[in-house]
Amino acid sequence: MEELIHKLQHRVVELTQAQRRIADYIVQNPMEVAFLTVDKLASKVGTSTATIMRFSAAVGYSGFSELQKELQLNMKHKAAPQTRLEANLKHSNKSKLLHNHVELQFNNIQYSLDNITEETFQHIVEKIANSRQVLCTSVRSGRAVGEYLSLGINRLLGNCQYIDADQSDWVDELVHLNSSDLIIAVSYPRYAKRIKDMLEVAKSYDVEVLLITDSYSSPLTKYANYVLPCSSASIGSHNSIVAAIFIVDFILSALAINDPERTKPRLDKINNILTKMSYHTTH
């Protein structure tokens, strides 16, 4: 991004008014532009694809794809834990860490609520409930979200399992899935290739995909039928799962409440077995 801004600064006087609008949009929305097609970018800026291509050449690139590659590399670098920590250290106030953390997490949750409609929530809950089989998958920072959601769905409905995308076992499971099934994938920057591989295969089998990721700009959204954007911003170096846990916790609550005739008998049976096993301590 710094390289692109450097080029813009040196050539801005040579740009047309339309090209300057493109430059402004890229600087303000670098992550989005990094994964847009040239047609979609032209539509968003209100210009033509030819103007996008001329702009790319005017600022020193062989084409729009080369400009995009630089943006994508920059996104990966910014998403690296050490880079995020360095950036956060520059702006952190150690005496207000808790306050800053709380404020950021409220913002993360609000971002999800602003970008997910009630209708979308309802449709996703119905899709999970009506699926023959649900497979949850994630890696690394998304693992806690995937495992929590998988455990909750299976406890309520009995049709869900968790698969670690880093393990090749998902291949054995996926070949049995079809359009009546659902894969729920959790992926944060820097977006593991194993998740991408799995979703590509899923689409080839017509399996529908629900993606929980940090934003609509995630490169994995092109494989998804449904997207739940959950910001993973933190005041440290890690991908935060607070917003995602908030959202999936609501989904589990909605599944339980929307169909008590199905969920309550199952929970009663599970509880009876655990009681007979004296699974829970009485003290």
| CA distances, 56 to each of 7, 36, 38, 174, 203 (Å) | 11, 14, 11, 41, 33
Q: What local confidence, expressed as pLDDT, does residue 11 receive? A: 72
Decide if 38 contacts 49 (C-beta within 8 A): yes
The two three-digit tokens of residue 3, written as one number? 């390289």
% of the chain at pLDDT higher than 90: 39
The structural domains of the chain, with segments of one domain joined by +, span: 2-79, 102-276
- C-alpha–C-alpha distance, residues 209 and 218, integer Å: 14
When pLDDT is averaged across residues 150-167 and rounded to a whole number, the result is 92
CATH superfamily of 102-276: Glucose-6-phosphate isomerase like protein; domain 1 (3.40.50.10490)
Whether the domain at 2-79 and the domain at 102-276 fall into the same CATH topology:
no
Q: What local confidence, expressed as pLDDT, does residue 31 receive? A: 72
Neighbours of 176 (CB within 10 A): 10
Closest C-alpha among 92, 61, 109 to residue 232 = 109
Per-residue pLDDT tens over the stretch 179-200: 999 999 999 888 888 899 989 9
Per-residue pLDDT tens over the stretch 92-106: 677 777 888 888 888
Q: Reduce the DSSP state of residue 34 to 3 states and report it.
A: coil
pTM score: 0.69
End-to-end CA distance of the chain: 59
The answer to whether the bond into 190 is cis (omega within 30° of 0) is yes
Residue type, 283: H
CB within 8 A of 88, min separation 6: which ones?
Answer: 234, 235, 236, 237
Q: What local confidence, expressed as pLDDT, does residue 24 receive? A: 80
| CA distances, 228 to each of 14, 48, 80 (Å) | 41, 31, 22
Per-residue pLDDT tens over the stretch 210-237: 999 987 778 888 899 998 989 888 878 7
- Give CA torsion, residues 169, 173, 174, 180, to 10 deg: -150
In this prediction, residue 141 has a pLDDT band, given cuts at 50, 70 and 90, of confident
- The CATH fold assigned to 2-79 is Arc Repressor Mutant, subunit A (1.10.10)
Higher pLDDT pick, 47 / 1:
47
Computed over every residue of the chain, the mean pLDDT equals 85
- C-alpha–C-alpha distance, residues 266 and 283, integer Å: 26
In this prediction, residue 281 has a pLDDT band, given cuts at 50, 70 and 90, of confident
